[in-house]
Amino acid sequence: MTTFEGGDAPILAGKLYAEPSTFKPEALLREARRQRGRPLSNVPKICVLDPDGDLVRRLRRDGAARLHEGWACYHTELLEFDVEGVGKLGIIGCAVGAPFAVLVAEQLFASGCRLLVSVTSAGQIADRGPPPYYVLIDRALRDEGTSYHYLPPSEFADGPTGLLAHVEAETTRLDTIVRRGATWTTDAPYRETEAAIADARAAGALAVEMEAAALYAFAAARGEAVICFAHVTNMMAQDEGDFEKGEADGTVTTLAVIAAAARGWAAITSGNGPSPIAPAPALRD
């Protein structure tokens, strides 16, 4: 994969990473609360992005989730639900793609979130056995635009090393398959050419998805705790019968990996390990 120098592509030019944004999520949420008459209330400390919406649909169908009345995002609804042994979680469905995922992440952390877990569907790049299985993403190829607004150019966006180690330890106790490794984040899924796939595989990517690089870049720039999983469910529809996710559209195993991430984060925040995230940069208000 190519590592650009500043100015080689328009999207890389003029990025002043130490300069704060004029438009802030706190300001948007303030005005949304005013317009919608929403109360000022924090979201759960642990929140989930469910890009496919499978878990959100199951929770609604089972009557196991309730609407968070204080969530003031213009584009999404936040549901609350309980997980045994973990407690209350928030979840947002169908935030697909890097820009949307980070837009929502910014607003969640401005609203009291302290850990964000993303579990997104992914296509297999390297053969690690038949899908479905999960990849605990430790780094993601930056083949999208959003991450370059948060961090200077580099090939990968890295996940939080200390937190990843604790989450990985928790996933080893699960019955489902979770492999730790890299993914390729693209914002053009229907431009996954043979050459691009080969490049991503050569760089070490196990799967292709649409959010992780941007979420990890945001997290590093803001000093927030984010964990991304890729649910490898398909081989890009090269054969019939693809995209099978498992029991109940994969929601049983997805809940298990979310709970594992929550337990890994709790082990750190309770004082039993190193800091899960880098110190917040000085530019943050």
CATH number at residue 159: 3.40.50.1580
Whether 122 and 233 have beta carbons less than 8 Å apart is answered as yes
Quick one: average pLDDT of 241-249? 69
How far out from the chain centre does Cα 68 lie? Answer: 20
Residue 6 lies in a domain: no
% of the chain residues with pLDDT over 70: 88
Does 7 score more than 60 pLDDT? no
Q: What is the model's pLDDT at position 241?
A: 62
Cα separation, 73 vs 115, whole angstroms: 18
- 5 domain-assigned: no
Mean pLDDT of 62-68: 97
pLDDT band at 10 (very low <50, low <70, confident <90, very high): confident
Domain membership of residue 131 (yes or no) is yes
Please give the structure tokens belonging to residue 54.
């499978």
Least confident residue range of 22-31, 38-47, 85-94, 237-246: 237-246
Q: What are phi and psi of 184, to 5 degrees?
A: -115, 120
User: In the predicted model, what is the mean pLDDT of residues 107-136?
Assistant: 96
Peptide bond into 10 cis (omega under 30): no
108 lies in some domain? yes
Mean pLDDT of 4-8: 54
Phi, psi of 208 (to 5 degrees): -120, 135
pLDDT at residue 41, as a whole number: 94
Judge whether 186 lies within some domain: yes
- Lookup: tokens for 241: 């019968």
- Across the chain, mean pLDDT equals 90
Strand partners, 122: 232
DSSP-based three-state secondary structure for 29: helix
By CB neighbour count within 10 A (0-12 exposed, 13-18 middle, 19+ buried), where does 117 fall? buried
The pLDDT value recorded for residue 281 is 33
Run of H or E residues at 168 = helix 161-171
Residues 250-285 have pLDDT tens digits of: 899 999 999 999 999 999 987 544 444 433 333 232
136 domain-assigned = yes
pLDDT digits (tens, 9 = 90+) for 75-112: 999 999 999 999 999 999 999 999 999 999 999 999 99
Element (H, E) at 28: helix 25-36
Q: What pLDDT was estimated at residue 9?
A: 78
116 forms beta bridges with: 47, 226
Boundaries of domain holding 199: 24-269
Percent of the chain clearing pLDDT 90 (strictly above): 82
DSSP H stretches of helix in 44-150: 54-61, 98-110
The rounded distance, in Å, linking the Cα atoms of 49 and 37 is 25
**155 located within any domain:** yes
**Count of domains forming the chain:** 1
pLDDT at 237 over 70: no
Alpha-carbon Rg for the chain, nearest whole angstrom, is: 18
Q: Report if residue 14 sits inside a domain.
A: no
Mean pLDDT of the 52-63 span: 96
Chain segment 149-167, per-residue pLDDT in tens: 999 999 999 999 999 999 9
The confidence score (pLDDT) of residue 284 equals 31
Q: Please enumerate in sequence order all residues whose Cβ is within 8 A of that of 8, keeping only pairs 6 or more positions apart, or say none.
A: none
Q: Supply the pLDDT for residue 239.
A: 63
Task: Give Cβ neighbours of residue 284 (< 8 Å, ≥ 6 apart).
Answer: 20, 222, 223
pLDDT in tens, 194-228: 999 999 999 999 999 999 999 999 999 999 999 99
Predicted pLDDT at 234: 81
pLDDT confidence of residue 273: 45
